[in-house]
Amino acid sequence: MEEYRSKRDFRRTPEPIGGEVPSRGPGRIYVIQRHHASHLHYDLRLEKDGVLKSWAIPKEPPESPGIRRLAVQTEDHPIEYADFEGIIPEGMYGAGKVEIWDRGTYEPIEEGEDKWVFRINGERLRGEYCLIKLKGSGGKNWLFFKKKGG
């Protein structure tokens, strides 16, 4: 969370500072925010260990198998960020409009160092999805896709 806070001036951005927020009942939080920053992208966030693990996806996330999207891992975000929608002011980190594109819960199936498999229960995305870490990218670049038959 240190990296998250160090990038932002909370006197000027409406984004949450983040505190000690207990988990919100059964099912881990899943959310994708559409972020109209300098380049439109989609921020995938998955609750794990009291934070939202986060990836920026440059193109629309796939609703069916056969489409693989690059997902660039970004800094952990506070749990409260799952509800955030608003405008990050110009000159701020990530300036632009943030809106919730999909939300719900997810169930982990596999959580390895280089591979996550999980079932998304969202409004747009439903079923089994994978995140696979690409080698030689400093660990930041992953592939995000829906599993066949998932």
**Chain residues that interact with Mn ion, rule: CB under 5 A:** 35, 43
Secondary structure (DSSP) of 62-74: PSSTT-EEEEEEE
CB of 44 to Mn ion, least distance (A): 10
CB nearer to Mn ion: pick between 54 and 105: 54
CB of 120 to Mn ion, least distance (A): 19
Q: Could you tell me which residues come within 8 angstroms of residue 11 by beta carbon, excluding any fewer than 6 positions away?
A: none
Residue nearest to Mn ion (CB): 35
CB nearer to Mn ion: pick between 43 and 76: 43
C-alpha 119/C-alpha 107 separation (Å) is: 5
CB of 149 to Mn ion, least distance (A): 31
Could you tell me if 22 and 109 are in contact, meaning their C-beta atoms sit under 8 angstroms apart?
no
CB nearer to Mn ion: pick between 35 and 69: 35
C-alpha 141/C-alpha 125 separation (Å) is: 21
CB of 52 to Mn ion, least distance (A): 12
How many other CB atoms are found less than 10 A from the CB of residue 87? 14
Burial of 54 per CB tally in 10 Å (0-12, 13-18, 19+): buried
Which amino acid is present at 34? R
CB nearer to Mn ion: pick between 15 and 43: 43
